[in-house]
């Protein structure tokens, strides 16, 4: 007898196919599909609805949150059943007790997290990466999780406070760091992640540790991937790690490499650049080396204030701002020398930064800074810094042109990702990227059929990340499922919610048109609320395909 059968849905199998029929679940896996007559303990009538595999989110930052919030809210509510953590090389393990405060302070800045929530919420039941994985098993997350070994975290564990200031580790430190990567892979890490991004600054304006690492160090730390013939490599590349740089690592290790950079996002100021990156990755693939790009299906927008101007931190003029206390920043903005230096930065922008000086993309209450500056007869820079320090602003920076973004989403060297779920909660919540994709790119624009859209969100990322048994509806696969109304599916508007440890607030979205989410055959959300199963069903994933 089956545990339950979902009857009458249009089933999208995650592999690009669809059929009308039933799906039976037994012991957490798909037991049968098609016309099912065998008895079941429970039957779910899904007539008129669509059933697909759960969404696979390969770019999240739940490393800290999961220790106090096993639900990984809001991702399971938004259809995500598998989440990969440790992205950009940032996380919380390994972490000696002496470095805990440093790690959390860095996370609070680089990933836009509430420091009080981190300090009050993280449950420190571990120091090594293996102990962290054991802790996750005791926590029993609601969704499946995989964890990347993290360059900055490892560097901090070995080099301490000098991790952000000293580029060259000693020979002994290099050996210890490489050993920690091996230990993480042996403990079940899905791969290794790092960052060279100029946008990644930590506490007090200091660079995140990996961003100052030498090429020799990075090559040393990816070497265990090749030695063990396992794991993937993910890099927030900035302009330093080009597609060719990543191809060389893929060639040396024999493992897939993934790029994360705004240079691969559509930008009206340079409309051809992003596709050039995709084509260079395709050329690498043609040579037998897998190099992919994390592709965002949502506009990259930031809600911010001048008190916390994260998207501007990669400009040299903001070095003083990053190092200053938030309450002291208003006086810096008034200085003509500061404004002059910022204008010079905009006149000669570095590659890979977030804001290139297009003031039409920064808005105050629906009006752009460019419009306001013309109305006030001011230079846009002066108009901007004359605003109150707590004025709510929004920067609509990349991926804001559907005609330019659609070809990137279709490209086979891309993997739909970049939700950043768990991070940047001060500014936005993109955890619902999958439901947004189904709403906007499937239903509203017709850029994808529903069958192909489902494939891009499920089996495609699972296959590229070598995650077995996920992202597909076929006999024997894990029963990670999303039931929804294709005529309504989507996400709510942003809402601010005060539910972080210590009373901190975050931005959140809720599902629209979702009728149920199952993880390993256990329903975890009914489309309105989280359910409370007897045992949280998420698995800590440690076994991956070659």
- Tell me: the pLDDT tens digits for 419-431? 999 998 877 899 9
Q: What is the pLDDT of residues 223-238, one digit of tens each?
A: 999 999 999 999 999 9
Same domain assignment for residues 375 and 411: no
| 501 confidence band (pLDDT: 50, 70, 90) | very high
Query: What is the DSSP track for 192-214?
Result: EEEE--TT-B-GGGPBPGGGG--
- Average pLDDT of the residues in 229-248: 97
In angstroms, the CA 512 to CA 124 distance is 36
Residue located via tokens 């007090």: 204
- Average pLDDT of the residues in 357-366: 91
Read off φ and ψ for residue 140, nearest 5 degrees.
60, 75
Same domain assignment for residues 289 and 218: yes
Same domain assignment for residues 344 and 465: no
500 located within any domain: no
474 located within any domain: no
Cβ atoms 173, 180 nearer than 8 A: no
Q: Is the peptide bond before 94 cis (omega within 30 degrees of 0)?
A: yes
Same domain assignment for residues 175 and 296: yes
251 located within any domain: yes
Rounding to the nearest 10 degrees, give the CA dihedral for residues 133, 136, 142, 146: -20
Q: What is the pLDDT of residues 92-143, one digit of tens each?
A: 999 999 999 999 999 999 998 999 999 999 999 999 999 999 999 999 999 9
Q: Is the pLDDT of residue 204 over 90?
A: no
Q: What is the pLDDT of residue 205?
A: 85
b/e code 293-304 from CB counts within 10 Å (16+ = b): bbbbbbbbbbeb
In angstroms, the CA 427 to CA 432 distance is 15
In angstroms, the CA 394 to CA 64 distance is 27
Cβ atoms 361, 395 nearer than 8 A: yes
- Average pLDDT of the residues in 41-53: 98
Last residue of a domain, one of 469, 491, 508: 469
Cβ atoms 140, 70 nearer than 8 A: yes
Cβ atoms 262, 274 nearer than 8 A: no
CATH of the domain at 108: 3.20.20.140
Read off φ and ψ for residue 442, nearest 5 degrees.
-100, -60
Same domain assignment for residues 376 and 428: no
Q: What is the pLDDT of residue 351?
A: 83
Cβ atoms 102, 156 nearer than 8 A: yes
Same domain assignment for residues 148 and 265: yes
Q: What is the pLDDT of residue 310?
A: 81
Query: What is the DSSP track for 136-177?
Result: HHHH--SSEEEEEEEHHHHHHHHHGGGGGT-S---HHHHHHH
Read off φ and ψ for residue 410, nearest 5 degrees.
-75, -20
- Average pLDDT of the residues in 42-50: 97
- Both tokens assigned to 458: 């499920």
477 located within any domain: no
Q: Is the pLDDT of residue 517 over 90?
A: yes
Same domain assignment for residues 93 and 203: yes
Q: What is the pLDDT of residue 266?
A: 95
Q: Is the pLDDT of residue 59 over 80?
A: yes
Q: Is the peptide bond before 450 cis (omega within 30 degrees of 0)?
A: no
| 460 confidence band (pLDDT: 50, 70, 90) | very high
Cα-based distances in Å from 371 to 347, 374, 393, 394: 20, 5, 14, 14
- Report the number of distinct structural domains present in the chain: 2
Read off φ and ψ for residue 42, nearest 5 degrees.
-150, 145
Cα-based distances in Å from 483 to 44, 79, 199, 306: 11, 9, 38, 42
Same domain assignment for residues 314 and 444: no
Q: Which parts of 28-170 fold into alpha helices (H)?
A: 100-110, 115-121, 129-139, 151-159
Same domain assignment for residues 388 and 427: no
Last residue of a domain, one of 355, 373, 397: 397
Q: What is the pLDDT of residue 428?
A: 84
Cα radius of gyration (the chain): 23
Same domain assignment for residues 170 and 76: yes
Q: What is the pLDDT of residue 382?
A: 96
In angstroms, the CA 263 to CA 237 distance is 9
Last residue of a domain, one of 438, 469, 500: 469
Cβ atoms 541, 58 nearer than 8 A: no
Range of the domain at 378: 303-397
Cβ atoms 85, 62 nearer than 8 A: yes
- Which DSSP helix (H) or strand (E) runs through 519? strand 514-519
Same domain assignment for residues 366 and 241: no
State the average pLDDT for the chain: 96
- Pairing mode, if any, of strands 367-368 and 18-26? unpaired
505 located within any domain: no
463 located within any domain: yes
Helices vs. strands in the chain: H and E counts, helices first: 17, 24
200 located within any domain: yes
| 268 confidence band (pLDDT: 50, 70, 90) | confident
Percent with pLDDT over 70 in the chain: 100
Same domain assignment for residues 463 and 382: no
33 located within any domain: no
In angstroms, the CA 66 to CA 93 distance is 13
- Other beta carbons within 10 angstroms of residue 145's beta carbon come to 24
Q: What is the pLDDT of residue 293?
A: 98
Q: Is the pLDDT of residue 366 over 90?
A: no
In angstroms, the CA 256 to CA 293 distance is 11
- Average pLDDT of the residues in 496-505: 94
């Amino acid at each position: 007898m089956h545990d339950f059968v979902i009857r009458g849905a249009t089933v999208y199998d995650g592999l690009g196919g669809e059929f009308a029929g039933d799906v039976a679940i037994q012991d957490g896996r798909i037991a049968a599909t098609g016309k099912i007559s065998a008895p079941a303990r429970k039957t779910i009538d899904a007539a008129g609805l669509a059933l697909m595999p759960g969404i696979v989110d390969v770019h999240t930052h739940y490393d800290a949150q999961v220790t106090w919030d096993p639900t990984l809210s809001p991702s399971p509510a938004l259809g995500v059943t598998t989440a990969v953590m440790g992205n950009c090389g940032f996380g919380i393990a390994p972490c000696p007790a002496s470095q805990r405060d440093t790690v959390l302070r860095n996370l609070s800045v680089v990933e836009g997290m509430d420091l009080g929530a981190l300090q009050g919420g993280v449950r420190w039941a571990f120091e090594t990466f293996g102990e962290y994985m054991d802790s996750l098993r005791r926590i029993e997350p609601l969704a499946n999780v995989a964890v990347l070994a993290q360059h900055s975290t490892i560097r901090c564990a070995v080099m301490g406070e000098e991790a952000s200031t000293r580029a060259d580790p000693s020979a002994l430190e290099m050996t210890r760091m490489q050993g920690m990567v091996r230990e993480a892979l042996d403990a079940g890490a899905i791969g290794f992640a790092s960052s060279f991004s100029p946008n990644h600054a930590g506490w007090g304006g200091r660079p995140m540790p990996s961003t100052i690492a030498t090429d020799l160090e990075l090559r040393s730390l990816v070497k265990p991937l090749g030695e063990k013939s396992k794991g993937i490599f993910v890099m927030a590349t900035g302009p330093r790690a080009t597609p060719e740089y990543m191809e060389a690592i893929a060639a040396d290790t024999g493992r897939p490499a993934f790029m994360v950079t705004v240079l691969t996002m559509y930008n009206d100021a340079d409309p051809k650049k992003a596709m050039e990156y995709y084509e260079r990755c395709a050329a690498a693939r043609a040579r037998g080396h897998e190099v992919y790009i994390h592709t965002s299906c949502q506009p990259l927008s930031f809600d911010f204030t001048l008190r916390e101007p994260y998207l501007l931190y990669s400009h040299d003029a903001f070095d003083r701002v990053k190092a200053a206390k938030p309450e002291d920043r208003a006086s810096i903005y008034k200085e003509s020398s500061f404004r002059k230096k910022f204008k010079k930065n905009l006149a000669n922008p570095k590659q890979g930064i977030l804001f290139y000086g297009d003031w039409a993309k920064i808005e105050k209450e629906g009006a752009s800074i460019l419009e306001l500056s013309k109305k006030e007869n001011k230079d846009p820079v002066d108009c901007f810094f004359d605003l109150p320090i707590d004025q709510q602003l929004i920067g609509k920076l990349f991926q804001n042109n559907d005609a330019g973004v659609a070809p990137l989403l279709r490209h086979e060297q891309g993997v739909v990702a970049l939700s950043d779920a768990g991070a940047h909660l001060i500014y936005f919540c993109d955890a619902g990227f999958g439901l947004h994709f189904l709403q906007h790119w499937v239903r509203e624009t017709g850029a994808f059929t529903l069958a192909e859209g489902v494939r891009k969100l499920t089996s495609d990322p699972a296959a590229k990340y070598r995650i077995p048994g996920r992202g597909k509806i076929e006999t024997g696969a894990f029963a990670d499922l999303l039931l929804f109304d294709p005529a309504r599916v989507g996400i709510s508007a942003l809402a601010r919610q005060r539910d972080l440890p210590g009373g901190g607030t975050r931005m959140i979205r809720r599902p629209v048109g979702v009728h149920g989410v199952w993880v390993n055959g256990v329903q975890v959300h009914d489309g309105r609320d989280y359910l409370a199963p007897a045992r949280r069903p998420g698995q800590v994933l440690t076994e991956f395909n070659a």
